Structure 1
Amino acid sequence: MNIQHSNSNIPGGPPSEQVVFDRRELGVIMGLYGRMVSAGDWRDYGMSFLKDLAVFSVFRRTAEHPLYRIEKRPRLRLRQGQYSVIAMDGRVLKRGDDLRNVLRVLERKLIRSID
């Protein structure tokens, strides 16, 4: 598991604001992650919390590029939706405001891998 924080801490100054996944969002993501690990598709994950976005990356192997990135961009909430699933090649597979609905694109892959 890799966790990266981008914090421009200036000595004596407050830490910069970061976008994070809340407990409910992490519960939804980790539920899917656990099912995908059980199916043998995913093996590791990493999280990054930056100024404009939070990213949950999933890996088949630790040394590889992420298979998928689950991103939260609050600034896009009123436009395209704040959540998105992005494939390894950079394609946006699904975008929207309902995290569970957005993650369904990955659950379909779980159903195919079990068949």
Structure 2
Amino acid sequence: MFSQVVATGEDSWAPSENIGSASTSAVKRRKFGKNKGVALSLMSDLHQSTLAPKPPPVISVKKVVQLIAGSPEIRANPDLYYFALDHIRDKTTREILMSISEEDRVWWIKQAYERRAH
């Protein structure tokens, strides 16, 4: 499995090296032990980088409809209410509506409604 892998550098070891130098081997093991945390951290980072990114949360139409229906100012105007419901078909519009405050939400829908009317 690892027949093509070659280790180089001062921390590499080959069975043909002088085995009588046990103290040198112990020093090398201790040296790796100091860096084990770094190696594990790098391996963890590598693992994380290979994972697929999480998709953004889905903003359901139902949740946005509930927000619009809960706004008395929008519900009071049937044309504005219909426009708002029709306007949230677009995913970006739903994201914007979920991201802004209720006052801004009503203002934003009114602005879009007036721009459409002209």
TM-score with structure 1 setting the length: 0.30
TM-score with structure 2 setting the length: 0.29
Structure having the larger proportion of residues in helix? 2
Structure having the larger proportion of residues in strand? 1
